[in-house]
Amino acid sequence: MHDIPVIDIDPMNRAARTVGQIEAACRDIGFMFIRGHGISRRVIGTMRTATMLYFERPLEEKLKDRISRDNYRGYIPQGFFSANTRYTEVDRYEGYKLHIDIAENDPICQLCDLYAPGKWPDAPASFQKAVEDYWRACDRVTNGLLAMLATILDVDSQWFLQLFEKPLTNMTLLHYPPQHPGDAGFGIHPHKDTDALTILVPDAVGGLMVKKRGSGEWLEVDAPEDTLVVNVGDLVELWSGGYLVSTPHKVVNHSGAERYSFPYFAVPRFDTVVEPLNRPRPGFNRARVHVGDVSREVWRTNWPDARPMYKGFDLGTLEN
């Protein structure tokens, strides 16, 4: 897929050229393949194995960890959440939602109800360690990318990075059963991410598709070996005044095989207010966003009977 560039972010090779490559990727398509990220094959392999083992458990065991309205952590049964968009069919996936693990006595839990201790399943035994090791590795990669984004946005990197201290960063473990070739539904419907950055280990099964700017053509992502897929979310698009783009994407699993993924979503601290840091592009007219408020609304509107309460939020829809 020639429209998505491969960028080496190894700190030993990092230079102004790397920042320029990332700027071009985020400006032109909003996606990039990164290598030199430093996350070992062992950490990635252990995370993938833990994900597969979790979803292989009997449904009645997984349902014990079922997600609830008062705690957006835990197991998501297939078809449980419907897309509150023009897409009427449920998405073909089951998942496990994870949010940053914060001690119950941490004062930030009293300031924002989105913070809480982690929710870990009883099995597999390797689950929590696999997630925590992979999560820390993604945090490190994210901090490096955010520092380069600060350069692109022409803001102080120390100020920008502190917005991600005690963040609302989260992960979703996903299992997509094979779809029948004639099935017009989605693994996950077309959407934009509501975060700052997304990091994804590609699955060889394929099925991730990105909407090409201009033509509107859907292109399947074919990631080179040992790369991660990184894309810009709505918050970076807003910070940049529309200069860097949050691109629609979807998953359709017509491979005939089981597909597994575990996207990591980097989100700032709850009290961050996101607004353009640069002069907005012509025609870009999105309202400023309070991260805690928009994150809570994204959480709430995942429930099938919920309807958006705030018209000013762009909740990963394709209309804006």
Nearest to 219 by CA among 16, 4, 33, 63: 4
Convert the pLDDT of each residue in 87-131 to its tens digit: 557 788 999 999 999 999 999 999 999 999 999 999 999 999 999
For the chain, the DSSP string reads -TTS-EEE--TTT-SHHHHHHHHHHHHHTSEEEEE-----HHHHHHHHHHHHHHHTS-HHHHGGGB-BTTB--EEE-TT-S--SSS--SPPS-EEEEEE-B--TTSTHHHH-TT-B-----S-STTHHHHHHHHHHHHHHHHHHHHHHHHHHHTS-HHHHHHTTSS---EEEEEEEPPPPTT----SEEEE---SSEEEEPPPTT--EEEEPTTT--EEE--PPTT-EEEEE-HHHHHHTTTSS----EEE---SSS-EEE--EEE---TT-EE--SSPPPTT--PPPEEHHHHHHHHHHTTSTT---S-TT---S-S--
Residue 215, pLDDT score: 77
Query: Residue 26: which of 181, 151, 120 has the closest Cα?
Result: 151
Beta bridge partners of residue 266, listed in sequence order = 197
Res 314: pLDDT: 61
Residue whose C-alpha is closest to residue 34's, from 197, 276, 244: 197
- The label of the residue with tokens 């807003």 reads 238
Is residue 319 included in any domain, yes or no? no
Is the predicted pLDDT of residue 318 greater than 70, yes or no? Answer: no
- Is it the case that residue 178 has pLDDT exceeding 50? yes
Question: Looking at the domain assignment, is residue 317 inside a domain?
Answer: no
CATH number of 133's domain: 2.60.120.330
Question: For 129, phi and psi rounded to 5 degrees?
Answer: -65, -40
pLDDT at residue number 14: 64
Q: Are residues 108 and 83 in contact, defined by beta-carbon separation less than 8 angstroms? A: no
pLDDT in tens, 224-239: 999 999 999 999 999 9
* Residue 312 belongs to some domain of the structure: no
| Separation between Cα atoms, residue 230 and residue 267, nearest integer Å | 14
pLDDT band for position 277 (50/70/90)? very high
The verdict on residue 307 lying in a domain is no
What is the rounded radius of gyration, in angstroms, for the C-alpha atoms of the chain? 19
pLDDT confidence of residue 183: 79
Residue 97 belongs to domain spanning: 6-300
Task: Report yes or no on 311 lying in a domain.
Answer: no
> Does residue 96 lie within any of the structural domains?
yes
Say how many domains are in the chain: 1
Residue 206 lies in a domain: yes
pLDDT of residue 320: 34
Q: What's the confidence (pLDDT) of residue 2?
A: 53
User: Are 87 and 78 in contact, with CB atoms under 8 Å apart?
Assistant: no
Name the DSSP class of 63: G
pLDDT confidence bin for 303, thresholds 50/70/90: confident
Tokens describing residue 126: 């390797």
Q: What is the pLDDT of residue 315?
A: 52
How far is residue 103 CA from its own chain's centroid?
23
Closest to 179 in 3D by CA, of 158, 156, 205, 198:
205
Q: Output the pTM of the full model.
A: 0.94
Q: Are 263 and 199 in contact (CB under 8 A)?
A: yes
Helix, strand or coil for residue 295? helix
Q: How far is CA 122 from the centre of its chain?
A: 25
Contact between residue 21 and residue 7 where contact means Cβ atoms under 8 Å apart = yes
**pLDDT of 316 higher than 60:** no
Residue 121 inside a domain? The answer is: yes
